[in-house]
Amino acid sequence: MEQVKPTGCCAPFDPTPWQEKEITWTFKPFVKDHVIEFFHMPLNMGSKIVKNMKLIKAAQAEAPTN
């Protein structure tokens, strides 16, 4: 397997902890939305994030910050 080089932004993804694991999505809420794009550039991303964060907070579904 080819070694992933660091970019200086984030650490390279290490898939080792996820090998041979099964992830179950039962009772794990998530938000799905669509963004308008023009030449692959999102036009209304900011307003969608604000809208969806309001929905997440209203549902008390915020992810824990550890």
| Span 1-53, pLDDT tens digits | 667 777 778 778 888 888 998 888 787 778 899 999 999 999 999 999 999 99
CA distance 15 to 63: 22
Angle at 41 between CA 61 and CA 36, to 5 degrees: 60
Determine the pLDDT at residue 28.
77
Domain ranges of the chain: 26-66
Determine the pLDDT at residue 38.
96
Determine the pLDDT at residue 1.
60
- Amino acid identity, position 61: A
Determine the pLDDT at residue 66.
59
Determine the pLDDT at residue 20.
92
- The pair of structure tokens assigned to 8 is 């200086």
